[in-house]
Structure 1
Amino acid sequence: MPTKRTVCVVEDDPAIRRGLVDSLRFAGFDVLECADGASARATLGRAHLDLLLLDVVVPGMDGLDYLPTLRRERPQLPVILVTARGAEEDRVRGLRSGADDYVVKPFSPTELLARVEAVLRRSPARPQDVSGATYAGGHVDVERQEVLLESGEARALTERELGVLLHLLRNPGRPIERAELLRCVWGLDPRGIDTRTVDMAVARLREKLGTEGAAVVRTVRGKGYLLGDGVEAVR
């Protein structure tokens, strides 16, 4: 019999917490629940977890402020932020701080479970951070946010272009859907957004990568984009 996966729910509203816990248990998860920052820190310090559902604001803890600390202490733990804060700047801050997804209240149990399962599928183990990449036509320096071609020419990358490439480097061998890139790079809910936003960023990225650009960022028809063979992440 397969081992149940364990999810920790950190939510101070009793009714919302109960709904989350019941939905997850009905779906077959073991669930730990916390109502405040103190109990959350204690649980995170001792329990084996497969995923954390973290409300952005609970007594004794601001989830956005806590995320960078959590990433240092438990870099492989997938995290979904659950919050009433739907502003773009809050979503972007949460994703940049290390969240794997960002769910805005109100949401349906079906949507939440789909997001939990999607994050678990793509996060069997959180990779180490990436400082650069090498490929046949040059290399990428993350800190300098630029591509250096074999010819010696340096080309600056925008934040979005670099974000797309980093997401592919952190997920080698897996086609990445446009909706996932919108969530994880742009910090946007992909529903109702024209996915040409992603396609245009990829086109600009490929151009800056030089003649090998299309081989570095491959198109997978009907699915999205995939890191090309021969591209090596520098840790």
Structure 2
Amino acid sequence: MRRPDGTAIRALVVDDEPVLAEMVSMTLRYEGWDVVTAANGAEAIKAARESRPDVVVLDIMLPDISGLEVLERLRATHPALPLLLLTAKDSQEDRIAGLTAGGDDYVTKPFSLEELVLRLRALLRRTGLAVADNTARVVVGDLVLDEDTHEVTRDGEAISLTATEFEVLLFLMRNARRVVSKSQILEQVWDYDFGGRSNVVELYISYLRKKIDYGREPMIHTLRGSGYVIKPVDR
């Protein structure tokens, strides 16, 4: 998904929890978006003025001023700016207050990063501020992956994957016929080196093999000492 002029989506992530803000930012950057972060309301207002984001992920509970007040200020200068609200509260009153104040959508912590991305994409599509990439479908042989719907099929048969399995497979498919190392997969999918514990990659590759290759000619191959490669089956 990109802006109508072909440039990357610009997102502003506002949250005073550094780990959460980094997780959301990392996920959106993996989508190819340009991301700016802010840790409080004052920073958010300044960042919005300087970066002119296409969409905002806004925590309601901020240390200086209320996220709802930030929302109102942003709406005053950017009336059509899509805003997705985050909160640790789950009461109907908070939900209504956020949406009434001008929020376009609402996600309660803890939340799935996959769900967050899907909601943001839906917001941008509804507002017409972004268009889907022509490369949403990645195809390797009879294996098809759709980045927008997160649907995966092989030879027309649907394959159910977890969010992390999907990201590992996507990275492999984007690099079809090229060998990728465990460290490359760790950096791309987890953005974390796990202290050299590359067994997490081996674990997810085994999960994918059971779902992608079981009962079929294998597409995922191990090159001992080098990494993994996915390629079409030779007919």
Write the letter of the residue equivalent to 2:70.
Y
Task: Give the whole-Å Cα distance in 1 for the aligned partners of 2:68 and 2:89.
Answer: 11
Give distance in 2, aligned partners of 1:111 and 1:57.
21
The one-letter code sitting in structure 2 at the alignment partner of 1:28 is: G
Following superposition, the deviation at residue 67 of structure 1 comes to 2.1
1:70 to 69, 74, 84: 74
| Count of aligned positions | 125
Any idea what SS the aligned residue of 1:90 has? helix
- How many Å apart are 1:65 and its aligned residue? 2.8
- The answer to whether the 8 A contact 2:9-2:54 is kept is yes
Correspondence for 2:17 = 13
Residue number among 1, 23, 28 corresponding to 1:24 in the alignment: 28
Q: Deviations over 1:61-95 (max 9, x none)?
A: 20123322321211011100011111100001100
Provide the rounded CA distance (Å) in 2 between the counterparts of 1:97 and 1:22: 28
Alignment CA distance shift 1:68-1:48 (3 Å): closer
Matched, 1:93 2:94: no
Q: Secondary structure at the match of 2:125?
A: helix
Q: Secondary structure at the match of 1:57?
A: coil
Q: Does 1:112 align with 2:116?
A: yes
Query: Matched residue of 1:4: which SS?
Result: coil
Q: Deviations over 1:144-188 (max 9, x none)?
A: xxxxxxxxxxxxxxxxxxxxxxxxxxxxxxxxxxxxxxxxxxxxx
Selected match of 2:51 from 33, 47, 53:
47
- Correspondence 1:36 to 2:33: no
**Match among 56, 61, 69 for residue 60 of structure 2:** 56
Per-residue deviation, 1:37? 1.7
Residue in structure 2 matched with residue 81 of structure 1 by the alignment: 85
Question: What's the secondary structure of 1:52's corresponding residue?
Answer: strand
Q: Give the CA deviation at 1:110.
A: 0.6
Per-residue displacement from partner, 1:183-225 (whole Å, max 9, x unpaired)? xxxxxxxxxxxxxxxxxxxxxxxxxxxxxxxxxxxxxxxxxxx
Task: State how far apart, in whole Å, the 2-side matches of 1:65 and 1:24 are.
Answer: 25
Percent identity (aligned): 40
Over 3 Å counting, the alpha-carbon distance change for 1:48 and 1:69 in structure 2 is: closer
Pairs within 5 Å for 1:140-155: none
Please tell me the root mean square deviation across aligned C-alpha atoms, in Å. 1.4
* One-letter amino acid of the structure 2 residue matched with residue 11 of structure 1: D
TM-score (norm 2): 0.51
What is the CA-CA distance between 1:36 and the residue it aligns to? 1.3
Match of 2:107 among 85, 103, 108: 103
Following the alignment from structure 2 to structure 1, what is the Cα–Cα distance between the partners of residues 27 and 73? 28
> TM-score, normalization: structure 1?
0.51
Q: Cα deviation per residue 1:47-67 (whole Å; 9 max; x = unaligned)?
A: 221000000011212012332
Alignment of 1:77-226 (within 5 A): 77-124=81-128
Query: Which protein is bigger by CA-based radius of gyration?
Result: 2
CA distance in 2, matches of 1:10, 1:91: 18
Please give the alpha-carbon distance, in whole angstroms, between the structure 1 residues aligned to 2:53 and 2:72.
Answer: 18
Shift of 1:115: 0.4
Report the Cα distance in structure 2 between the residues aligned to 1:39 and 1:71, rounded to whole angstroms: 16
| Structure 2 spans left out of the alignment, 5+ residues | 130-235
Unaligned runs of 5+ in 1: 126-235
- Cα distance, 1:121 vs structure 2: 0.5
